[in-house]
Amino acid sequence: MISFRRYYFFALFLFFVSSPVYSIELPDFTELAEEYSPSVVNILSEKEFKEEEDEGESREAPPFFFDDPFRDFFERRPNRKNRRPQRSGGSGFIISSDGYIVTNNHVVEGATTVKVTLNNDETFVADVIGLDSRMDLALLKIEANKDLPFITFGDSKKSKVGEWVIAIGNPLGLGGSVTAGIISAVGRDIRSGPYDSFIQTDAPINKGNSGGPLINLDGEVIGVNTMIFSQTGGSIGIGFSIPSELVQPVINQLKEYGETRRGWLGVVIQDVTEDVAKDMDLKEERGALVQDVVKGGPADKAGIETGDVIIKFGGKDINKMRELTTNVANTDIGKKVKVELIRLGINKTVTVKLGRLEGNEETFLKGQVEEESKKILGISFGELTTEIRRKENIPSNIIGVAVIDVDENSEAISKKITAGSVLMSVTYQKVTGNMTYQSTVKVVNPDQVYKILQERKDAGDERILLRVWRPEYRVSSLVALSFNKEQSD
């Protein structure tokens, strides 16, 4: 009897102790949805076909960008005369009562007409105030002759992993949609461009939601939804948003100037990896390693040299190269900034007067093209940028280095490796003592590729195995190339 009473008491104790666990409530998103859904709009873009577009399939938008789910099907059909204007859609959100709207660049780029439909089904023709393809942002304006509901930006720097968020969109002309989830990661680099620092969320983001806001529980926009990671086009819980700390400076510039005006340092940089830190005898694995300096650019004039490691810019610590890229871009043109660097183990500080990225970038790219003497296996390589992804319709799961140019008489061209292909990895045989084994290296930047291939060539390797994604086949596969056959017969 005593044992029964003890058991009974113990069971009651467990019940009352554990019951508070079940009283924890999930956030109620109804008020947020009701208050901010009217600020989210549907955007329909119309683009007239040009004659040259009728000669081949369109490759403007990669499959991970949100768009009309039937777009890929129709754009790949045989071309016919008298085709109707191309239509694509997305979402956006109003940021001021007088009708300024933020969306993605890819939603409206190249459009001849942009129509905005409000939550109450009112439709307006929008003016495109400015576009920024680098950050994939656009600013529109509608004249509604009345005050419009709007939503304000919050500080994405305060966002934390695990924080609840909602994604609001107005996709495919079906009306508003709201999904909820958490922030899965911050500062995510997916190698789509120099300003990668995305907020990753598991809030389902579906086709047509591109350009919609990611909102925290305080009702603030902390990100602009821009892409999903998916091989099917549907949401699998991996969505990416451009953080508000990067969005706001761009939108302010588009509003004031109709274009972006980014600061420019004039260097090519890479992260300081463990190997780099070891080779350079650095105490810490941080900073931005200068790979190249643009002749006559701001860095060159300030005395920055190839091999320098930049560790501070304007008093801010630089741990990763993208931090330098973002800080430089967001600094006023013409401003003098102190740059702290390490050169041959010695700390130095120089003062740089920043130039303007737009305009100088073309000069630098021409310089890169002139450096094609660096070509190996008849191939020149470059960064896999957002623009290249869009042009070649490269899936989001294809990560590597872009093929920029291929010699016409090379073995590579005979094996259908063309400009727009993506080198994903290099496989070769490595000999250590009496052991021979196969080594596969995933590639992340052009300099790494040139270094590996040149090392294998100098080591006497006759052949190399490359995993390449080729536009003609649209799948990745292994391709063997010979070093002594860089030019085919």
Mean pLDDT of all residues in 311-329? 91
- 35, 104: one domain: yes
- 48, 149: one domain: yes
Q: How many domains does the chain have?
A: 3
User: Contact at 8 Å (CB) between 234 and 214?
Assistant: no
- 61, 125: one domain: yes
Predicted TM-score (pTM) of this structure: 0.64
Provide the pLDDT for residue 250.
94
Q: Compute the distance between CA of residue 144 and CA of residue 377 in angstroms, rounded to an integer.
A: 58
Q: Is residue 4 in a domain?
A: no
pLDDT tier for residue 487 given thresholds of 50, 70 and 90: low
Print the domain residue range for 153: 27-260
Q: Is residue 13 in a domain?
A: no
Q: Is residue 145 in a domain?
A: yes
- 64, 126: one domain: yes
- 269, 408: one domain: no
User: Contact at 8 Å (CB) between 138 and 130?
Assistant: yes
- Is the model's pLDDT at 58 over the cut of 50? no
Q: Is residue 22 in a domain?
A: no
By the 10 Å C-beta count (0-12 exposed, 13-18 middle, 19+ buried), 226 is classed as: buried
Reported as type and span, the H/E element at residue 89 is strand 86-94
Reported as type and span, the H/E element at residue 269 is strand 267-271
Hey, CA dihedral for 433, 436, 437, 442, is it positive or negative? positive
Q: Compute the distance between CA of residue 105 and CA of residue 386 in angstroms, rounded to an integer.
A: 12
- 88, 73: one domain: yes
- 210, 291: one domain: no
- 162, 39: one domain: yes
Calculate the dihedral angle through the C-alpha atoms of 144, 145, 147, 148, rounding to the nearest 10 degrees.
0
Q: Is residue 6 in a domain?
A: no
pLDDT tier for residue 23 given thresholds of 50, 70 and 90: low
pLDDT-wise least confident of 48-57, 280-289, 339-348: 48-57
Strand runs (DSSP E) across 120-234, as ranges?
123-125, 127-132, 137-141, 164-169, 177-188, 198-201, 213-216, 221-228
Q: Is residue 240 in a domain?
A: yes
Residue 294: give its domain's CATH number: 2.30.42.10
Vertex 455 angle, CA 449 and 460, to 5°: 130
Q: Is residue 9 in a domain?
A: no
Provide the pLDDT for residue 311.
95
Q: Is residue 10 in a domain?
A: no
- Is the model's pLDDT at 10 over the cut of 90? no
Rg (CA), the chain: 26
Provide the pLDDT for residue 69.
39
- 46, 184: one domain: yes
Which residues belong to the active site?
A: 106, 136, 210
Provide the pLDDT for residue 231.
52
How much is the mean pLDDT over the chain?
80
Mean pLDDT of all residues in 41-48? 88
- 87, 176: one domain: yes
Of 233, 260, 287, the domain-final residue? 260
- 206, 303: one domain: no
Of 358, 391, 426, the domain-final residue? 358
Of 240, 260, 280, the domain-final residue? 260
Residue 66: give its domain's CATH number: 2.40.10.120
- 352, 438: one domain: no
Mean pLDDT of all residues in 458-477? 86
Q: Which amino acid is at 175?
A: G
